[in-house]
Amino acid sequence: MSKQMQISVPVRAPTWVSTRRIFQQKLQDLHKCTSLNHIKQVHAQILKQNLHQDLYVAPKLISAFSLSQEMTLAINVFKQIPDPNVHLYNTFIRACVQNSHSLLAFETFFEMQRNGLFADNFTYPFLLKACDGQSWLPLVKMIHNHLEKYGFFQDLFVPNSLIDSYCKCGLLGVKSAMRLFKVMDERDVVSWNSMIRGLLKVGELSEACKLFDEMPMKDAVSWNTILDGYVKAGEMNKAFGLFESMPERNVVSWSTMVSGYCKAGDMEMARMLFDRMPVKNLVSWTIIVSGYAVKGLAKDAIRSFEQMEEAGLKPDDGTVISILASCAESGLLGLGKRVHTSIERIRYKCSVNVSNALVDMYAKCGQVDRALSVFNGMSKKDLVSWNCMLQGLAMHGHGEKALQLFSIMRQEGFRPDKVTLVAVLCACVHAGFVDEGIRYFNNMERDYGIVPHIEHYGCMVDLLGRGGRLKEAYRLVQSMPVEPNVVIWGTLLGACRMHNAVGLAEEVLDCLFKLEPSDPGNYSLLSNIFASAGDWSSVANVRLQMKNFGIQKPSGASSIEVDDEVHEFTVFDKSHPKSDKIYQMINRLGLDLKRVHVVPKVYL
DNA sequence: AGTTCATAAT
């Protein structure tokens, strides 16, 4: 936290030059300042002094706004400058990258070239960062060409960054990286590590191991990278062997192992290693808490979270986001709330990403009201925030509310993406707005420039199918530009079952069995169709077939959380200690339902 | 004006 700086404008500013000098001193730490109010005050004073176009002052302001995630303000400052120099362009491009405005970063870069300015060795690394997570292989190649043309290859940092960026562009990228790696006449340990990491990312474990063996020098990162390779491949025995044989083990090595055992579901082993760790940091604690949370072990998760805080560690954004994501995955409202209070105790304001994770967690745990109150309290929202909230509303049947929120979102100038439209269509499905859904679907390309993906088709099949328009749904599936997958056929089949359309169902099942001949779900769907049509001999037949093929349907489970404990139930499950009482209650509910003439459907 | 690789991640 930087110290608060008081900008005092002298009562009698002697000359313009000296005013500027005073500002220079006061502005020195502005780009590190985290108090938005303070930055705004300074901005106002700068405007008053007419210094906002100054080529020393403007970059400081842009950096400061960028750090506070105030990209709109940063853009405003930048736009005021008539003739930006390279330094200013770099600062602005860096701000774009920091706030994940990757497109704007490149647009600015192209504008800079149009203005006849040359990018320098500061510009390119920023641009490479902008390609992160975008899979912009052509742009990485373009940067590569530029760097070669202008001879920026002296420092190993440049080709190493290129290797890393290439490796983030999938298989083709890794191949380009390999070509570059092979022609480099000098390589350091980072070059090797990055290349190995890239191979692992595309699943080339054996290639990575080969390179690892060839390495002339290995550091801790090299060992940990290859260890992670084994862990990600699920080879815990090999990983453990390597772990034992490592020349030195640091926090990362230990954490990687703990994470591996958590993913394998072996929480006992995970805990044992965790307890033996000589040093634990935030990441290690996050791994163990999330590990318990994903498995639904709410009590252990909460206890570990509290132990972490007792150890004097304050969860950061990464910790909070991962734990909340695990809560959302397994519905651990208790832990989610506990993390929320902890954040509120530490911080005055959450970052956008943390708030998004909170919205998502509350929505997925069924607490739509809490999700809404976090969402409404957010001072800044991004596309992810809207998408989480829309999805939450749609998922819980608040279709109308979701569509209202969608129109507010557009009023506020947000451009919907494909996730948004899935949520919108899903809202129509759950609210039964068939015609409205069709309208959104037909116009999504024209209105939002989004070509329908398979997920959107899935929503439409669901929408038409539930509405009883089975023929239209079937026609849509046949006319799809992409091959229908299991989800699409399954959805259509579900609709057939709902409307007792046995004829169409058998047709659909043919397609489904061709795609997934051994999926037990298909058999139970088939059996359920026959069951709803009252064809019990066919049902028996299907069950017999399943038995012959040795197929067992993994039974679906439902779970509820009571007092920080998750109880899971499957069909005919008698394992719960209060099983008798539970079945008594079910029977009573069944009688109550009969009394109001509702006949419960029973499926396989 | 700032740097690359390893563990958690919306």
Mean pLDDT of A219-231: 94
Mean pLDDT of A9-28: 58
- Assess whether A277 (CB) lies less than 7 A from strand B: no
List of A residues 386-445 with CB within 7 A of strand B: 388
Which candidate, A263, A258, A259, places its Cα nearest to that of A274? Answer: A258
Q: Which nucleotide is nearest to A63 (CA to C1')?
A: B1
Mean pLDDT of A334-358: 88
Per residue in A263-299, pLDDT (tens digit) is 999 999 999 999 999 999 999 999 999 999 999 999 9
Q: Is residue A584 part of a domain?
A: yes
In the structure, how far is the CA atom of residue A485 from the C1' atom of nucleotide B5, in angstroms? 38
In the structure, how far is the CA atom of residue A338 from the C1' atom of nucleotide B2, in angstroms? 38
Q: Is residue A570 part of a domain?
A: yes
Query: Around Cβ A209, how many Cβ atoms within 10 Å?
Result: 17
Q: How far apart are CA A543 and CA A603, in angstroms?
A: 13
Q: Is residue A579 part of a domain?
A: yes
On strand B, nucleotides with any atom < 7 Å from a protein CB are 1-10
Residue A519 has pLDDT above 80, yes or no: no
Residue A588 has pLDDT above 70, yes or no: no
In the structure, how far is the CA atom of residue A289 from the C1' atom of nucleotide B1, in angstroms? 39
Domain count for chain A, please give it: 1
Mean pLDDT of A333-361: 89
Q: Is residue A543 part of a domain?
A: no
Q: Is residue A372 part of a domain?
A: no
Q: Is residue A588 part of a domain?
A: yes
What is the pLDDT at residue A430? 87
Mean pLDDT of A305-315: 91
What's at A99, amino acid-wise? N
Contacting residues for A319 by C-beta, under 8 A, at least 6 apart? A282, A283, A285, A286
Q: Which nucleotide is nearest to A196 (CA to C1')?
A: B5
pTM of the model: 0.79
Query: Higher confidence at residue A177 or residue A510?
Result: A177
* Residue A575 structural domain: 558-595
Per residue in A382-433, pLDDT (tens digit) is 899 999 999 999 989 899 999 999 999 999 988 898 999 999 999 999 888 9
Q: How far apart are CA A64 and CA A95, in angstroms?
A: 9
The residue lying closest to nucleotide B2, measuring its CA against C1', is A122
The residue lying closest to nucleotide B3, measuring its CA against C1', is A157
In the structure, how far is the CA atom of residue A250 from the C1' atom of nucleotide B6, in angstroms? 10
In the structure, how far is the CA atom of residue A143 from the C1' atom of nucleotide B6, in angstroms? 26
- Assess whether A165 (CB) lies less than 7 A from strand B: no
Picking from A94-108, A260-274, A555-569, which range would have the lowest pLDDT averaged per residue?
A: A555-569
What is the pLDDT at residue A533? 63
Picking from A175-189, A211-225, A513-527, A586-600, which range would have the lowest pLDDT averaged per residue?
A: A586-600
- Assess whether A251 (CB) lies less than 7 A from strand B: yes
Task: Tally the C-alpha atoms within 13 A of residue A83's C-alpha that lie toward its C-beta.
Answer: 1
Q: Is residue A267 part of a domain?
A: no
Mean pLDDT (chain A, rounded): 84
Q: Is residue A568 part of a domain?
A: yes
Confidence of residue A193 (pLDDT cuts 50, 70, 90): very high
